């Protein structure tokens, strides 16, 4: 386990401040990436942040205005499992909020064939493939345990779910499933003879962060040591012994127990008498976040780093081989008969290591890279995902119900932090440490390659928007304008200083750019070579989304500003939405918000009476949203990408079937400086009230209208410049149209 120290969070928790503040929750997310999934519940609890999990849970919801139609749920890889038969080797890789089933072959050359993907209901701590079943444990969100049928590994199907608190680890033996979950420190045992209906048969008060089962005993490792639990009677498991402390991995063969510790040591104990384990040997300098004892080789042990340890003499274990895998290595499984070990690397995916010569292992290939999905940009049926350590991921979303991986641009072995992406036609643009921005040729999205670079920028872009032949980049402290008319030779042409933060969002409308930051700024970009800050919102925000003369700021909630005068934006109203709003996309009269617990659709036709009209949860916090009609695309950190369809959501309370015909209002001319004519459609009947309201909702004019009159003249000469709404009210309906006075 990584021993990173986070004094900010500890201080916040001690002061009782780490509950709703925007920056606090961002710090939690950033800090959690340093902690393996199976350690996270304890890590949060120790810092008084256990409520974090309650705000990050996928609970499939009924159609309520939003419907999840597709997912690409893959992020960091944490564990690997094997099903080896005489004819085939199938790999199950736990990654993000899903698991990938992969056929492994190495007869002439190594072949890793993706057979299928499983989309789970939370962040997966471990996935185990056994016979024709796959078992997934959820470390965060989700429902605890999922059981999938994989008799046809190319088409797995969900068989059952078991509702549990966050699951640290799982083990399967015969017809029993063992889980360790952090809630009351409990080991639970389920009978899975009928995988469609797992039945809990026993539990005990011991728990741990990782586990293994051997013979009649379950071994639970964690901060407080290694607990040995007698499970010979599954209905009555009970502790019979314990060993050491600060355990990070455990494996048992016969009477020997091997476990790794936070002090980077491998310990060997004799557990013939489990109530009195005795030390046998040890080896220092070994980072063992997982341990594999291949069933076909009883003299060698493997760790994910990859250490090859001879245990022919368990009293004197010794390292005989080593290769440093490029990232954070959490899981390992070896198949000596096929001359390979497979490593689950946190952001490089699956690393295949050739072990023909155990004394000289060599990395063969790396596939299925993935990390936190931080940004998403849509262009021509493809999604370009900024995947932090794992570079630029390119997905085919032509069929939103089945997003498919096409390719990625990455530098194997290097930690390249990619936080934003944008694309158009045959080129994508990504943030990069040095240089700050790269142009990527994506003519063939399965084989993207570096085409150019932009020099002169101060920091990597946190968000990017393409307009005409320019890419507008929001850095932590600046708005930069890059000319990409020649995409292989991008050139920085304009720059101005903006607020100070590391999660800047960017919105571009006409000649103005809205930079969400601390503080948030309005920038005139009419001349791209000389952008100028013309206004300030006076508060921090993740992003700004604009509709007409309204700006919607994501500040943990929603704050609405009038921007009819960009030099002096005025706050109009606000709304608290769910457990934290981190992103807003304004689409017509609707707002789509990304929250800690999912995506919402909000009716914002009346900014003083905004109402949630739909909600769908996500497996993890939403980082950013992108809207391409009729779909909403959400980047969900470790949970990859979720795609939502906005259902038919009614603005009013009248059922759709009984809704009267629309009036068909028009204002001519629009914009206008003097008198305007309100044209009313043929469906008007009786006498109606016509009122004019400003953006604050204040009525500035009212008159009556008779059905026989097809138009009404309104003199707006005396009204201040800005946006106005003309509203026609009849006994059974009400309709409005907007116009601009200049």
Round to whole Å and give the CA distance between 288 and 307. Answer: 8
- Rounded Cα distance between 229 and 240, Å, is 6
Class (C level, CATH) for 164-288: mainly beta
The pLDDT assigned to 183 comes to: 60
Please give the torsion angle defined by the CA atoms of residues 387, 264, 363 and 437, in that order, rounded to the nearest 10 degrees. 30
- Chain-centre distance of CA 474, in angstroms? 21
Distance CA 38, CA 57 (A): 16
Q: What would the pLDDT profile of 311-369 be if each residue is shown by its tens digit?
A: 999 999 999 999 988 778 899 999 888 899 999 998 889 999 999 999 999 999 988 98
Closest CA to 289 of 245, 237, 332, 256: 332
Q: What is the pLDDT of residue 649?
A: 42
Q: Please name which of 37, 25, 34 lies closest in space to residue 3, comparing C-alpha atoms.
A: 34
Over residues 199-235, the pLDDT tens digits come to 999 999 888 889 999 999 999 998 889 999 999 999 9
| 300 vs 695 pLDDT, higher one | 300
Q: At what angle do helices 22-32 and 7-14 cross, to 10 degrees?
A: 130
Does pLDDT of 665 surpass 90?
Answer: no
Residues 594-605 have a mean pLDDT of 90
The predicted pLDDT at position 687 comes to 77
8 A C-beta contact, residue 92 and residue 100: yes
Higher per-residue confidence, 428 vs 723: 428
Across residues 366-392, what is the average pLDDT? 92
CA gap 29, 373 in Å, rounded? 13
Tens digits of residue pLDDT in 609-621: 999 988 888 888 8
Max Cα distance, the chain (Å): 102
**Using H for helix, E for strand and C for coil, what is the string for 644-693?**
EEECCCCCCCCCHHHCCCCCCCEEECCCECCEEEEECCCCCCCEEEEEEE
Q: How far is CA 593 from CA 402, 434, 468, 575, in A?
A: 23, 33, 27, 12
pLDDT, residue 254, reads 93
Task: For residue 344, give the H/E element and its range.
Answer: strand 340-345
Tell me the Ramachandran region of residue 307: left when phi exceeds 0, alpha when psi lies from -120 to 50, beta otherwise. Answer: beta
Put the strands of the sheet holding 550-554 in their side by side order.
544-547, 550-554, 558-562, 570-575
> How far is 613 from 634, CA to CA, in rounded Å?
18
A 10 A CB-CB count for 132 gives: 14
Whether the pLDDT of residue 130 is over 60: the answer is yes
Which two three-digit tokens encode residue 367? 């596939």
Query: For 720, which DSSP code?
Result: P
Q: pLDDT tens-digit profile of 158-174?
A: 999 998 888 999 999 99
| CATH topology assigned to domain 663-741 | Immunoglobulin-like (2.60.40)
Which letter does DSSP use for residue 236 in this model?
Answer: S
Q: 54 — phi, psi (to 5°)?
A: -65, -25
Among the listed residues 262, 189, 188, the one whose alpha carbon sits nearest the alpha carbon of residue 225: 262
> pLDDT averaged over the chain?
86
Structure tokens that stand for 632 in this block:
């909403």
| Residue among 116, 79, 112 nearest 101 (CA) | 116
Average pLDDT of the residues in 630-643: 93
Specify the pLDDT at position 13: 38
Q: Would the pLDDT of 55 be above 80?
A: no
Q: State the average pLDDT over residues 486-502.
A: 89
Calculate the CA dihedral of residues 117, 119, 120, 121 and round it to 10 degrees: 170
Superfamily of domain 375-646: YVTN repeat-like/Quinoprotein amine dehydrogenase (2.130.10.10)
Check pLDDT > 80 for residue 108.
Answer: no
Asked whether the CA dihedral 393, 394, 398, 402 is positive or negative, the reply is: negative
pTM (predicted TM-score): 0.82
3-class SS of residue 27 = helix
Q: What is the pLDDT of residue 223?
A: 86
CA gap 217, 203 in Å, rounded: 14
Does the structure show a pLDDT above 70 at 282? yes
Confidence of residue 403 (pLDDT cuts 50, 70, 90): very high
Query: At a CB cut-off of 8 Å and minimum separation 6, what does 183 contact?
Result: 164, 165, 166
Q: What is the DSSP string of 49-104?
A: -GGGGGGS-------SSEEEEEEE----EEEEEEEE-SS-EEEEEEETTEEEEEEE
As a whole number of angstroms, the distance between CA 338 and CA 321 comes to: 18
For residue 720 the two structure tokens come to: 């201040």
What span, in angstroms and rounded, lies between the C-alpha atoms of 165 and 205? Answer: 14
User: What are the DSSP calls for 514-581, one per residue?
Assistant: EEESSS-EEEE-SSTTS-EEEEE-SS--S-EEEETTEEEEESBSEEEEE-SSTTS-EEEEEE--SS-E
How many Cβ atoms from other residues are within 10 Å of residue 484's Cβ?
22
Q: How confident is the model at residue 413 (pLDDT cuts 50, 70, 90)?
A: low
What percent of the chain lies above the pLDDT cut of 70? 88
Q: Exposed/middle/buried for 548, CB within 10 Å: 0-12, 13-18, 19+?
A: middle
> In this predicted structure, what is the pLDDT of residue 20?
39
Contact yes or no for 422/465 (Cβ under 8 A): yes
User: If we measure between CA atoms, which residue out of 240, 170, 257, 159 comes closest to residue 204?
Assistant: 240
In terms of Cα–Cα distance, which of 164, 194, 159 is closest to 179? 164
Q: The tokens of 468 are what?
A: 């005409």
Other Cβ atoms within 10 Å of 702 Cβ, number: 12
User: pLDDT, tens digit, for every residue of 703-728?
Assistant: 887 766 778 888 888 888 877 888 88
The residue with tokens 């009716």 is 603
């Amino acid at each position: 386990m990584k021993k990173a120290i986070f004094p900010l969070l500890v201080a916040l928790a001690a002061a009782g401040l780490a509950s709703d503040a925007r920056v606090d929750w961002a710090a939690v997310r950033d800090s959690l990436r340093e902690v393996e999934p199976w350690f996270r519940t304890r890590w949060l609890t120790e810092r008084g942040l256990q409520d974090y999990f309650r705000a990050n849970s996928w609970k499939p919801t009924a159609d309520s205005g939003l419907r999840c139609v597709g997912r690409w749920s893959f992020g960091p890889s944490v564990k690997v499992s094997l099903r080896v038969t005489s004819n085939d080797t199938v790999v199950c890789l736990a990654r993000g909020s899903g698991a990938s089933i992969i056929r492994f072959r190495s007869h002439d050359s190594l072949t890793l064939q993706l057979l299928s993907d499983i989309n789970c209901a939370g962040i997966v701590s471990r996935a185990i493939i056994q016979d024709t079943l796959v078992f997934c444990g959820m470390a965060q969100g989700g429902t605890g345990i999922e059981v999938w049928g994989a008799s046809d590994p190319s088409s797995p199907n969900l068989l059952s779910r078991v509702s549990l608190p966050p699951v640290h680890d799982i083990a399967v033996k015969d017809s029993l499933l063992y889980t360790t979950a952090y809630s009351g420190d409990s080991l639970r045992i389920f009978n899975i003879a009928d995988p469609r209906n797992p039945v809990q048969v026993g539990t005990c008060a011991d728990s741990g962060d990782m586990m293994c089962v051997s013979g009649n005993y379950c071994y639970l490792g964690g901060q407080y040591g290694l607990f040995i639990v007698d499970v010979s009677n599954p209905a009555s498991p009970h502790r019979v012994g314990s060993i050491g402390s600060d355990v990070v991995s455990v494996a048992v063969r016969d009477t020997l127990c091997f476990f790794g510790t936070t002090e980077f040591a491998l310990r060997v104990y004799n557990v013939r008498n489990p109530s009195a384990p005795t030390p046998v040997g040890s080896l220092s300098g070994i980072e063992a976040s997982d341990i594999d004892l291949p069933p076909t080789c009883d003299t060698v042990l493997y760790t994910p780093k990859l250490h090859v340890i001879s245990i022919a003499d368990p009293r004197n274990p010794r390292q005989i081989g080593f290769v440093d895998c490029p990232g954070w290595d959490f899981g390992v499984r070896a198949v000596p008969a096929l001359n390979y070990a497979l490593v689950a690397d946190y952001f490089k995916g699956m690393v295949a290591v050739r072990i023909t010569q155990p004394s000289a292992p060599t990395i063969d290939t790396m596939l299925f890279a993935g990390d936190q999905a931080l940004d998403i940009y849509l262009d021509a049926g493809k999604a370009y995902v900024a995947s932090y350590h794992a570079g630029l991921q390119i997905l085919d979303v032509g069929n939103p119900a089945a997003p498919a991986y096409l390719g990625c641009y990455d530098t194997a072995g290097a930690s390249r932090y990619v936080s934003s992406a944008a694309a158009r036609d045959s080129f994508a643009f990504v943030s990069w440490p040095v240089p700050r921005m790269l142009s990527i040729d994506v003519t063939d999205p399965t084989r993207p390659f570096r085409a150019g670079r932009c020099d002169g920028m101060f920091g990597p872009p946190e968000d990017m928007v393409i307009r005409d032949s320019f890419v507008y980049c929001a850095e932590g402290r600046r708005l930069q304008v890059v000319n990409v008319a020649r995409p292989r030779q991008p050139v920085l042409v304009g720059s101005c200083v903006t607020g100070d933060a590391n999660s800047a969002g960017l919105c571009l409308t006409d000649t103005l750019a809205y930079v969400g930051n601390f503080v948030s700024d309005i920038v005139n970009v009419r001349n791209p070579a000389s952008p100028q800050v013309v206004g300030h919102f006076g508060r921090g925000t993740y992003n700004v989304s604009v509709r007409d003369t309204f700006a919607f700021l994501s500040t943990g909630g929603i704050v609405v500003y009038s921007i009819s005068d960009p030099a002096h934006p005025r706050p109009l109203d606000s709304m608290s939405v769910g457990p934290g709003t981190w992103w807003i996309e304004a689409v017509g009269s609707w707002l789509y918000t990304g929250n800690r617990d999912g995506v919402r659709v909000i009716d914002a036709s009346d900014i003083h009476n905004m109402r949630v009209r739909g909600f769908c949860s996500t497996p993890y916090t939403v980082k950013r949203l992108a809207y391409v009609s009729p779909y909403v695309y959400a980047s969900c950190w470790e949970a990859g990408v979720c795609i939502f369809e906005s259902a038919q959501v009614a603005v009013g309370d009248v059922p759709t079937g009984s809704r009267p015909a629309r009036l068909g209002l028009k204002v001519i001319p629009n914009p206008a400086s003097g008198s305007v004519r309100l044209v009313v459609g043929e469906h008007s009947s009786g006498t109606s009230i016509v009122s004019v309201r400003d953006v604050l909702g204040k009525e500035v004019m009212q008159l009556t209208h008779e059905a026989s009159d097809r138009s009404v003249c309104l003199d707006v000469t005396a009204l201040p410049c800005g946006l106005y709404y003309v509203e026609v009210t009849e006994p059974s309906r009400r309709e409005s149209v907007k116009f601009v006075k200049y």
